[in-house]
């Protein structure tokens, strides 16, 4: 009997992980990627000897027995060249002229911050206890539905209940490029799960995020599957309530028994002609969901032997910054792991960027948006570099050259509406509307990726299991991953 065929649209992390699991379990898997390079936000690019990440910079919870370790071990990703960040300072939070360390290890985390905020030690213990309890159940709660109540609770209210000092609240929220903070909407589950994983431990990958995508792709092919690039799906044909085949821009036909979309749900629905199983009310619901902001990135090549490598991330905030309300200036500074470990070779600067600032160029094509757009990027980049010098003195003079990207870049290369960094925003006030199921109104069409429930490497990896469980069954996934 022929193996059932699974067509996966998009070779981002979620699509590749689904492809790996299903191919390993005997399905005939084909992954279709519109671009030349696989990986989605895991993509890297090279300029000379410098390798730059696009959306991936570090992960949390990769130590023994931690949140991500058991998942990465299954995929063979644990053997990649990971470098653990400084245990006493995974992230340095700089607010105005003051600096604070976010350490790894729950006890170390509390001890380190209590040194600066001794009156808040009890509150920090309550805070860390809740985060740890949420993180420790990420696998045991798989498929039970017990996490949904946490999606219906406010992260900001929880933070204020634990911590009375406004400055400490800013510090605890200071690693602002891990997730999009929003005082009105952010659910406790997302806040707790993501922050807990980085409190467990922090890790960079020497060589960049594309190594993850390449390892997963190699696994899919070893199990008999295919990963095809430059194949942009433009149509999903529906017959009698089922998708029968995907059609790409070159007219190639890919028939299948199951279809999984790793692109944005709204973009997925645009591939299906109206009049079938997907009703207008469902289309309106998905298209009306709010997306998170995009990111402006400066990828800087550093002159040899000038700046020491720093084995921590830096999150720099102006004195008036409030990440919960999009106020003030905030910037992430991330170092690529150098081969010799001593001097920095390239540094990334990342800052949120509202799409409204880019709308005038949104109809243009990559590399062809004109001089006004290039001038905007140069001015924005220079502002970021000047601001970054507060935390990295001499940075401006140490930069040999730099490259920039905006939300438009992410939109064009990852098919994400508005170049959203973290996909659809979840709202604790309406979790049943904003937390999406892998299932769609079409019987054999499933969704995966960061838009469904939890974003980031950890979130996408867990979501992939939920998607695969719709095909393999929940019990099979639990057995497969030892849950």
pLDDT tens digits, 455-475: 899 999 999 999 999 999 999
pTM of the predicted structure, to 2 decimals:
0.95
In a domain, 9, yes or no: yes
* SS3 at position 56: coil
Sign of dihedral through CA atoms 58, 63, 67, 73? positive
User: In this model, does residue 305 exceed pLDDT 70?
Assistant: yes
| Residue 295 resides in a domain | no
Is the residue at 36 inside a domain? yes
Residue 483 has pLDDT above 90, yes or no: no
Please give the Cα distance from 40 to 37 (Å, whole number): 8
Sign for the pseudo-dihedral over CA of 462, 467, 468, 469: positive
Q: Could you give the C-alpha distances from 21 to 24, 28, 40, 271, in angstroms and in order?
A: 5, 11, 18, 25
pLDDT tens per residue across span 370-419? 899 999 999 999 999 999 999 999 999 999 999 999 999 888 887 788 88
- 275 falls within a domain: yes
The domain total for the chain is 1
**pLDDT of 247 over the 80 cut:** yes
Asked whether residue 65 is domain-assigned, the answer is yes
Q: How far apart are CA 473 and CA 467, in angstroms?
A: 10
The two tokens of residue 381 are: 């980049």
For the cut 80, the answer to whether the pLDDT of residue 25 exceeds it is yes
Cα torsion through 444, 448, 453, 457, rounded to 10: 160
Exposed, middle or buried: residue 186 (CB in 10 Å: 0-12, 13-18, 19+)?
A: buried
Looking at residue 455, its pLDDT comes to 87
pLDDT, tens digit (0-9, with 9 covering 90-100), for 156-187: 999 999 999 999 999 999 998 888 999 999 99
Residue 51 in 3-state DSSP?
Answer: strand
235 or 410: which leads in pLDDT: 235
Which residues does residue 238 pair with via DSSP β-bridges, in sequence order?
243
Question: Is the pLDDT score of 366 beyond 90?
Answer: no
Contact in structure between 389 and 396 (CB atoms under 8 Å): yes
382 domain-assigned: no
Identify the pLDDT of residue 1.
Answer: 64
**Residue of 53, 45, 40 lying closest to 14 (CA atoms):** 40
In this structure, what CATH number is given to the domain that contains residue 255? 3.50.50.60
Q: Determine the Cα–Cα distance for residues 24 and 48; give it in Å rounded to an integer.
A: 37
**Residue 22 lies inside a defined structural domain of this protein:** yes
Measured from the Cβ of residue 155, the count of other Cβ atoms closer than 10 Å reads: 25
Q: Is 239 contained in some domain?
A: yes
Question: How many secondary structure helices (H) and strands (E) does the chain include?
Answer: 17, 20
3-class DSSP state for residue 288? helix
Domain that holds residue 278: 5-45+53-79+207-289+425-481
Q: How confident is the model over 79-100, as pLDDT tens digits?
A: 999 999 999 999 999 999 999 9
**Per-residue tokens: 87:** 């245990």
Residue of higher predicted confidence among 311 and 367: 311
Is the confidence at residue 145, as pLDDT, over 80?
no
Looking at the chain, how many residues does it have? 483
CA gyration radius, the chain: 22
pLDDT value, residue 419: 86
Query: How many other C-beta atoms can be found within 10 angstroms of the C-beta atom of residue 305?
Result: 12
Whether 219 contacts 86, CB under 8 Å = no
Q: Identify the pLDDT of residue 311.
A: 96
8 A C-beta contact, residue 315 and residue 175: yes
Closest CA to 186 of 380, 363, 424, 470: 424
- Which region, left, alpha or beta, applies to residue 104 given φ > 0 means left and ψ of -120 to 50 means alpha? beta
């Amino acid at each position: 009997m022929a193996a059932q065929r699974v067509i996966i649209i998009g070779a981002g992390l979620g699509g590749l992980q689904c492809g790996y699991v299903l191919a390993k379990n005997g399905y005939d898997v084909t992954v279709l990627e519109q671009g030349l390079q696989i990986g989605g936000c895991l993509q890297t690019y090279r300029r000379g000897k410098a390798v730059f990440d696009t959306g991936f910079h570090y992960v949390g919870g990769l130590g023994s027995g931690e949140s991500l370790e058991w998942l990465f071990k299954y995929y063979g990703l644990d053997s990649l060249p990971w470098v653990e960040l400084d245990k006493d300072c995974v992230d340095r939070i700089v607010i105005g002229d003051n600096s604070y360390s976010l350490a790894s290890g729950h006890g170390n985390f509390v001890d380190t911050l209590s040194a600066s905020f001794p009156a808040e030690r009890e509150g920090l213990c309550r805070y860390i206890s809740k985060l740890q309890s949420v993180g420790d159940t990420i696998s045991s709660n798989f498929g039970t539905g017990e996490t949904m109540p946490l999606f219906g609770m406010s992260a900001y209210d929880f933070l204020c209940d634990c911590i009375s000092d406004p400055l400490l609240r800013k510090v605890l929220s200071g690693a602002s490029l891990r997730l999009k903070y929003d005082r009105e909407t952010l659910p406790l589950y997302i806040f707790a799960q993501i922050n807990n994983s980085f409190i467990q431990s922090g890790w960079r990958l020497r060589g960049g995020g594309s190594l993850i995508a390449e390892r997963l792709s190699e696994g899919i092919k070893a199990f008999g599957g295919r990963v095809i690039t430059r194949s942009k799906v433009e149509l999903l044909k529906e017959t009698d309530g089922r998708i029968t085949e995907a059609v790409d821009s070159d007219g190639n036909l890919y028939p299948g028994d199951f279809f999984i979309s790793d692109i944005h749900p709204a973009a997925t629905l645009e591939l299906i002609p109206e009049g079938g199983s997907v009703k207008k009310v469902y289309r309106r619901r998905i298209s009306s969901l709010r997306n998170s902001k995009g990111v402006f990135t400066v990828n800087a090549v550093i002159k040899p032997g000038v700046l020491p490598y720093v084995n921590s991330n830096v999150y720099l905030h102006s004195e008036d910054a409030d990440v919960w309300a999009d106020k003030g200036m905030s910037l992430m500074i991330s170092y690529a792991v150098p081969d010799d470990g001593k001097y920095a070779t390239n540094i990334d600067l990342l800052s949120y960027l509202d799409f409204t600032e880019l709308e005038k160029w949104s109809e243009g094509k990559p590399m062809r948006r004109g001089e006004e757009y290039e001038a905007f990027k140069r001015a924005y980049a220079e502002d970021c570099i000047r601001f970054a010098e507060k935390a990295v003195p001499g940075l401006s003079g140490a930069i040999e050259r730099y490259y920039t990207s905006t939300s438009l870049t992410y939109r064009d290369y990852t098919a994400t509406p508005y170049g959203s960094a973290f996909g659809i925003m979840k709202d604790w006030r309406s979790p049943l509307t904003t937390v999406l199921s892998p299932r769609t109104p079409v019987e054999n069409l499933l969704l995966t990726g960061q838009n469904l429930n939890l974003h980031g490497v950890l979130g996408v990896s867990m979501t992939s299991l939920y998607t695969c469980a719709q095909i393999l069954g929940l019990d099979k996934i639990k057995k497969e991953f030892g849950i």
